[in-house]
Structure 1
Amino acid sequence: MLDRASQGDDMPTPPPPNPPGEAVDVRDMLVAHQAFRREFRLAPAAVERVDDGDRRQARRVAKHLRLIIRILDHHHTGEDRLLWPRLHHRVPERLDALVTEMEHQHEELHSLLTAVSEQVTAWIARADTEARGRLTGTLKQLFRALHDHLADEEARILPLASRYLSVDEWQELERDGIGALPKTRAALAFGMLMYEGDPEVVSLMLSRAPAPARLLMPRLAPRAYARHARRIHGTSTPGPRTAAGSHETVARRVYADLWNDRRYENADDLFHPHFSSPAAPELSGGAAKLAAIRVYHAAFPDLKVTIDQLVASADQVAVRWSVTGTDTGGLRGRPPTGRVITTWGVDFLEFDNGRIIRDWVGTDWLGTLVQLGAVQSPWTNASDN
């Protein structure tokens, strides 16, 4: 990935960080990540849909898998060449701690991608239950590893890129990714980006494309992806596994899957791609919610949330909850107290197409801070002091 021993030897003096208000727009990376998450999440089901002996459909799905693997592999290669060296040169004190971790993640992903490629070849040859089961199992492993890696990039790397890279440098990374797309599959690949991508960001990406692409892609790309999705996923509008479920089910899974079981890979099933959170305004979708949740998991590793009351309507859910946990990690930079806290709060969740697109959260912060010893209780009688 990054050669730390020699990195920066032939680089000029790093430029100063971008002034406040002039951060580079890195949202196109979020659009790409959203497409990766969706396609790799849906991949196991696409394989499972193929009947034993149906080599024609197996070859079709295999071609799809090889395409998304190729795009993901080039995505990481481009980061290794154009993103990491520049950031490491400009903010080594911020990046050194991340390099080993990211290298390990890239190695794990490369190993899983290699295993998938080998298992795809075996599956095409046999198209039987055993080969299919082995491939779907590895694809599920790959998705979990990829989900965590992309979330780390979004939370820890993209803010640095936004501040320390120039517009030209960032757009070079974008051009490198687009240039790697097979010309015959460009409309399909861009359709994958457009399907759930933020329309404003997609328009900005198109504005930097050659004139023919600006004119044709808005019409050709969605059709190409819809046609492809019907063949691979069985529907022209593949969505989250929970899309057909009730809003109440989705809401309950937020607390069960994300807060209690730490099954972070399910976040994109539950949160709309355009969901945003004040806790991480630079992120969107499930990654934005996870950025908020992980703060509390770090402070209270044994944290458990209980739903005390839930009321659902046509497009909204209200939840009253209580939570308990031990402060062994320290909340938002405060020293850990070792105290067990119990507090409560309310969430109002708004839905769009089966997933949460907005939430409003209210928490008994005064009671929480009193229990942590951070503030004095306003209810304490002066005569008790």
Structure 2
Amino acid sequence: MLRASRSPSPLRVPGQAAAPDGPVDLATMYLVHWGFRRDLAAFAAAVPRTPVADLVTWNRLSRRFTLFADVLHKHHAGEDAGLWPLLAERGADPAALAALEAEHADLDPLLAGCTAGLRALAAGSVAPSTHPRLCAAVDGLQATLGAHLAHEERVGMVLVQQHLQQSDWDRVDRDHLATQYRARDVPAALGWVMAGLPTGAERHLALPHPAVLAAGRVLGRLRRRSDARTFGAGLGT
């Protein structure tokens, strides 16, 4: 979906744990991680303060969580299929790779709990414990995914810089990450990435044509407006 930017210096965005030096431009990875952190901050703020009876907002939050979970699933599926096996083939620390891959599985029950809670609240048929359990699930997901993203940035990306070259990274992106997206998925994913990018981050995007960047700006603004209606004062940046 996005190619490396060939930026001369590693990208640093809010919340990022590390940016190890090396031959590979990891800007795309860091921007996707920033998007996950942005979304989780918004959900963590919106879910506790949304009244149980506000079905309109719960429906919006449920649909928005589906987008978040879909991007996360595609991202991790691409890593599991392409990145970790290539690093293992190149001799990267097997214990470190196993730990990173296991963390993907640790997220599944938390994602399922958030999805179920949001759908129940959106349907309006809930037990007294549904809202507090959802709040706890969102907090747990934010903490667990946040720790995983930091682990990838501090350890996983060091392994990438030690064992891969730019051509390897481009091949993983082309053959395993980008292929997770069907053509009809791309507009939503591009808008998701570009919604509220930190100042200066856009220059790290390398898109195949200037028209794609222009379209991404429009899609990002539309996503940002939609998110403002969904999250309100909980919209993360």
Instruction: Establish whether TM, by shorter chain, passes 0.5.
Output: yes
CA contact (8 A) 1:226 1:236 kept: no
Residue 133 of structure 1: aligned partner: 132
Residue 281 of structure 1: aligned partner: none
Specify whether residues 41 and 86 from structure 1 end up closer, same or farther in structure 2 by C-alpha distance, changes over 3 A only: same
In the TM superposition, residue 26 of structure 1 has moved relative to its aligned partner by: 1.2
Letter in 1 for 2:42: L
Aligned-partner SS, 1:76: helix
| 1:155-304 matches, cutoff 5 A | 155-175=154-174, 176-177=177-178, 180=181, 182-192=185-195, 195-196=197-198, 199-200=200-201, 202-205=202-205, 207-218=206-217, 220-235=218-233, 238-239=236-237
Residue 50 of structure 2: aligned partner: 50
Q: Distance in 1 between matches of 2:22 and 2:97?
A: 26
Specify whether residues 109 and 143 from structure 1 end up closer, same or farther in structure 2 by C-alpha distance, changes over 3 A only: same
Aligned-partner SS, 1:238: coil
Q: Distance in 2 between matches of 1:237 and 1:103?
A: 30
Residue 121 of structure 2: aligned partner: 123
Specify whether residues 186 and 72 from structure 1 end up closer, same or farther in structure 2 by C-alpha distance, changes over 3 A only: closer
CA contact (8 A) 1:42 1:233 kept: yes
In the TM superposition, residue 65 of structure 1 has moved relative to its aligned partner by: 0.7
Letter in 2 for 1:74: K
Q: How many residues align?
A: 212
Residue 148 of structure 2: aligned partner: 149
CA contact (8 A) 1:71 1:180 kept: no
CA contact (8 A) 2:44 2:138 kept: yes
CA contact (8 A) 2:23 2:161 kept: yes
TM-score with structure 1 setting the length: 0.50
TM-score with structure 2 setting the length: 0.78
CA contact (8 A) 1:90 1:164 kept: yes
Aligned-partner SS, 1:233: helix
Aligned-partner SS, 1:102: helix
In the TM superposition, residue 178 of structure 1 has moved relative to its aligned partner by: 8.1
Structure number, greater radius of gyration: 1
Specify whether residues 101 and 57 from structure 1 end up closer, same or farther in structure 2 by C-alpha distance, changes over 3 A only: same
1:89-133 deviations in Å (ceiling 9; x for gaps): 102xx4212133223312211221122222222222226563222
Structure 2 unaligned residues grouped into runs of 5+: 1-20
Greater share of residues in strand: 1
Residue 26 of structure 1: aligned partner: 26
1:175-212 deviations in Å (ceiling 9; x for gaps): 524862724524531323x522x625x3242x333443
Residue 302 of structure 1: aligned partner: none
Specify whether residues 22 and 184 from structure 1 end up closer, same or farther in structure 2 by C-alpha distance, changes over 3 A only: closer
Greater share of residues in helix: 2
* Greater relative contact order structure (CA < 8 Å, 6+ sep): 2
Q: What fraction of aligned residue pairs are identical, expressed as a percent?
A: 24
CA contact (8 A) 1:75 1:177 kept: no
Q: Distance in 1 between matches of 2:208 and 2:60?
A: 29
CA contact (8 A) 1:188 1:221 kept: yes
CA RMSD of aligned residues (A): 2.6
